[in-house]
Amino acid sequence: MRANNSVSKRFLELDYKRKQLRQFQKRYLLKQPEDLIILLTRNIQHFRGEIETLEQRCQHMRRTRARFSQPANDVWRTAAEYFRLIRHGLHLTTNQLGFVRDMMAPDVVFNSEYGPEAIMQHWCFMDWFGDVNVELKGWEATDGESL
């Protein structure tokens, strides 16, 4: 009898815990839709702003591309690729590191220092400040091989 009594007591405890869990879930689910609506509203506003920014960038790029015909040399393409890869900071991906090492001259000048390592060191330093976003405001050719 004792075994039956302890089993039924255990069963009643489990049943009570299940009822408490269901009540908790009901209370949580009642609050959740409001929180979800607030979260979704914030996300929608954020994404609308991001879409607007991206559309502006796209328009700017279209205007810039229409203004300049395809250059005969690869200097312009190289510079464009550099800013495409590095625009959100250096994250030490193989694409970024390989590109900087392969495309930059060993005597490239960057912030009064020389070499691709100076560029990578600068980007690693900038990465300490969190989300980095670089925008190219303009460029000009100084001679046939430099921008």
Question: Mean pLDDT across the stretch 91-110?
Answer: 69
Instruction: Tell me what the mean pLDDT of segment 25-34 comes to.
Output: 67
| DSSP at 139 | -
Q: Which residue has the higher pLDDT, 72 or 14?
A: 14
Mean pLDDT score across all residues of the chain: 71
Q: What is the pLDDT of residue 88?
A: 60
Please check the confidence at residue 68 and state whether its pLDDT lies above 60.
no
List the domain boundaries for the chain.
1-67, 71-127
**pLDDT tens profile 7-27:** 677 777 777 888 887 777 776
Q: What's the pLDDT at 33?
A: 66
Higher pLDDT, 103 or 145: 103
pTM of the model: 0.34
Tokens of 2: 């004792």
Coil, strand or helix at 123: helix
What's the rounded Cα separation, in Å, for the pair 142 and 84? 22
